[in-house]
Amino acid sequence: MAGDYALVTGGARNIGAAIARRLTADGLRVIVADRVPPEHDALSEFVQVDLSDAEALRCALDGALAGRRVTRLVNNAGIVAPAALEDTDLEDFAQVQAVNLRAPVICAQAVLPAMKAAGMGRIVSISSRAALGKELRTAYAASKAGLHGMTRTWALELGRHGITVNAVGPGPINTALFQAVNPPGDPRTQAIIDGVPVKRLGTPEDVAAAVGFLASDQAGFVTGQVLYVCGGMTIGAA
């Protein structure tokens, strides 16, 4: 991995920050692309960009990736826009797809030349168990299910170039965002924990560990897969 770069979208905070730290610890130089400045220093470069703006994202990546051996891509950035079906706003729906689906396509296209030149690459996308169905998640579930389809399609297309493509599907992860919606000690929060077979919330580091493996040299025979990091919550559903 010496000298290789990893592009991590949404790598400024929460799960993305843990992924950036893990990949840095594994010897990669990390480029973080995010809308907000990072809360950590586990990176070689920060690219401030709105991932929903296709042209701005392309331009930002053209500058940040030029001349660099980028052999890892982690599509972590995502937005939710929860709503019941009858309340789903089509502009919100389109915005979710722009960040959760279109941005990964743009990022993958940007890193492919370097990966093909290197004869290897690792693309890991952060999905969600919501891809299997979750109330009030029409836009989000559609985007994550689409991400699964792209993961499998890209795995078939890119395997001949030594590029593997996988996804990680987190369950409930104890981040600041999770706590804002599910306060510690709240009965509803406890009900979520009780529903996890291992009886705890996941941590950002749990997700980062899975990403670290799939992004490693040792994962060259694993491709087209969705690895759920959910404490067993998807058993019987996936």
**Which residue among the candidates 140, 154, 213, 228 is catalytic per the annotation?**
140
Residue 228 is among the residues annotated as catalytic for this protein: no
CA distance 2 to 12: 23
Rg of the Cα trace of the chain? 17
Quick one: which H or E segment has residue 181? helix 176-181
Put the strands of the sheet holding 45-48 in their side by side order. Answer: 45-48, 29-34, 5-9, 70-75, 121-126, 163-170, 226-229
| Residues in CB range of 129: below 8 A, 6 or more apart | 169, 170, 171, 228, 230, 233, 234, 237, 238
Report the catalytic residues. 140
